Structure 1
Amino acid sequence: MKWNPAKYVQFASHRDRPFFELIARIDADAPRKVMDLGCGPGPLTAALADRWPQAQVTGLDASAEMIARAVADHQRPHLDFAETDATAWTPEPDTDVLVSNAMLQWIPAHRELMAGWLDALAPGAWFAAQVPGNFGAPSHVLLRELADSPRWTDRLSGLTLRRDATADPDTYLRLLLDHGFDADVWETTYSQLLRGQDPVLEWVRGTALRPVLSILREDDAQEFENEYAALVREAYPPFTGPDGDQLTVFPFRRIFMVGRKGA
């Protein structure tokens, strides 16, 4: 399943905001090594390099397309990128800051992985992650219901669209505490204002809709998109803004967790 870096950054202003609100809670003065796990096309990893210019900052992602874009677009002293499978990766003991932004939801056993990462980090190290918490929202419920409908279930055989892709904030809080971290966990629901025709469809094309489209033939994919677009258009009705633009409110819940490992 290939990622499309251009599609992913289409809503960069909305997707990037949680990242900066996450890292604002990291109180690390002069880290030596900073890792960004699930770095995507790289602009946010570059922001980490700008914040800590003396640190060695590395962006890791399983997508060759994302890493190629990151390497091409972002050059800084002490900044590099590498293609890495998070499920087979462990932070080195000298990692002072480990960041993961909107990546863990793609890994079914991510809490077990997190436990291993937290144990591998040394005392004083920081862990910070952000995950979507909107899998019960109409955008995802309608996608699952359509994929499970008689019309599509056979053509999408083997596809799993999980409602429990992320846990509740209390679960992440307990996980951090249980592994020796002073923890700060919170959630925010953003009332995102999207512009244009079928903006919720455009948003989901870059994320949750990708597994569906990667399985279907081109003509089937277009048909599925058309049916899904009609459903989300009804669930998120557009309206005309003061300047005459077509606007849609797209509420989006996100869960944040930041912790520093104790001695």
Structure 2
Amino acid sequence: MHVWDPTHYLSYADERTRPFVELLARVPDPTGRPVASVVDLGCGPGHLTALLARRWPEARLHGVDASAEMIAAARDRVGEPGEGATYEVADLRDWLAAPPAGEEADVLVSNATLQWLPDPLSLLPRMVARVAPGGTLAIGVPANFDEPSHVLRRELAAEEPFAAHTREVASPWSPGAADYLEALTGLGCEVDAWETTYLHVLEGPDAVFEWISGTGARPTLQALPAGLREEFADELRRRLRAAYPPRGGRVVLPFRRAFVVARVPA
């Protein structure tokens, strides 16, 4: 099991936050009642849960994440909106499979999380079941897995001597927005789905490597023993520099993301 680093993850906090803000802007309030309960599945270090608290300051907020390190960081956020949120360490699949501990959520959010699960579409019926009638399920996931930042990592990890250590390592992947649209429409939801490609302008040496080493490449790097890990990182940096040549000390990282906002039938 890889260990997440909240500080490294937040190195590009502005770029990682913008898609969530745009997803949240499309989430409607339930008709005829206030939002009482909001659940953040895959809440990470809690910086986005704070945005949920700003949107619905009177709601009960609950964050779930499989990483104890991320949950510890979320609980340490003091003096910010959402300070009163509750958090738990749990695999999203286990949380969905367990009997509900309380009322259904008026808003259930999952951002940049489902790509780590092998069959995210199979979870949608249980996610919809956890949303109150007339409430909303909001999902945002990366959809850039054919970009060099992912392809080069996968190709290098499949080469020896690295492959012996990385064969069983988690590798992110997700269906596109159209797949989520079809699945959630089939569950009776009113669905708004779209995709956006962001052009992130990153500064600093090996900026793309720094970006992916805090997210998609982290499990691969952690699976390698000392020595081999540094060899892998050096070679991946070299390949990424060729794929994303710097211009004036900056590189442009295209990043496509898929979004879906599903209104559950009242």
TM-score, normalization: structure 1?
0.93
Matches within 5 A, 1:221-236: 221-236=229-244
Question: 1:152 offset after TM fit, Å?
Answer: 2.2
Say whether the 8 Å CA contact 1:55–1:78 is kept in structure 2. no
1:69-108 → structure 2 map (5 Å cutoff): 69-74=73-78, 76=82, 78-90=84-96, 93-108=103-118
Give the conservation status (yes or no) of the 8 Å contact 2:204–2:250.
yes
Amino acid at match of 1:177: T
8 Å CA contact 1:42–1:74 kept in 2: the answer is no
Fraction of identical pairs, as percent: 43
Give the CA deviation at 1:94.
Answer: 2.6
Q: String of CA shifts for 1:162-203, please: whole Å, max 9, x gaps.
A: 6xx211221100111111110000000001100000000000
Query: SS at 2:163's partner residue?
Result: coil
* 2:92 maps to amino acid: A
Over aligned residue pairs, what C-alpha RMSD do you find?
1.5
Equivalent position amino acid for 2:123 in 1: L
Structure 2 residue matching 1:66: 3-state secondary structure: helix
1:40 maps to 2:47: no
What is the CA distance between 1:57 and its match in structure 2? 0.9
Equivalent residue runs for 1:199-238 within 5 Å: 199-238=207-246
Corresponding residue for 2:182? 174
Runs ≥4 in structure 1, deviation > 2 angstroms? 74-78, 90-94, 119-122, 154-162
Equivalent of 1:183 in 180, 187, 191: 191
Take 1:59 and 1:157, find their aligned partners in 2: how far apart are those partners?
31
Aligned position for 2:151: 141
- Distance (whole Å) between structure 2 residues aligned to residue 148 and residue 61 of structure 1: 29
Q: Provide, for residues 203-242 of structure 1, a one-character-per-residue CA deviation record: whole Å limited to 9, x for no partner.
A: 01111111111211121111100000000000000011xx
> Aligned runs of 1:11-160 on 2, under 5 Å?
11-28=12-29, 30-74=34-78, 76=82, 78-90=84-96, 93-159=103-169
Structure 2 alignment gaps of length 5 or more? none
Shift of the 64–159 alpha-carbon distance from structure 1 to 2, 3 Å rule, reads closer
SS in 2 for 1:239: coil
The CA deviation at 1:82 is 1.6
Distance 1:192 1:111 in 2: 28
Deviation, structure 1 residue 66: 0.5
* Contact 2:116–2:170 (Cα < 8 Å) also in 1: no
1:96-155 CA distance string (max 9 Å, x none): 000001000011122111221113423201000100001100111111111112342223
Counterpart contact for 1:119–1:179, Cα < 8 Å: no
State how many pairs are aligned.
256
2:40 is paired with a residue of what secondary structure?
Answer: strand
Amino acid at match of 2:89: E
TM-score (norm 2): 0.92
Structure 2 CA distance for partners of 1:141 and 1:258, relative to 1, 3 Å: same
After superposition, the C-alpha distances for 1:22-42 in whole angstroms (9 at most, x for unaligned) are 010011162110000000000
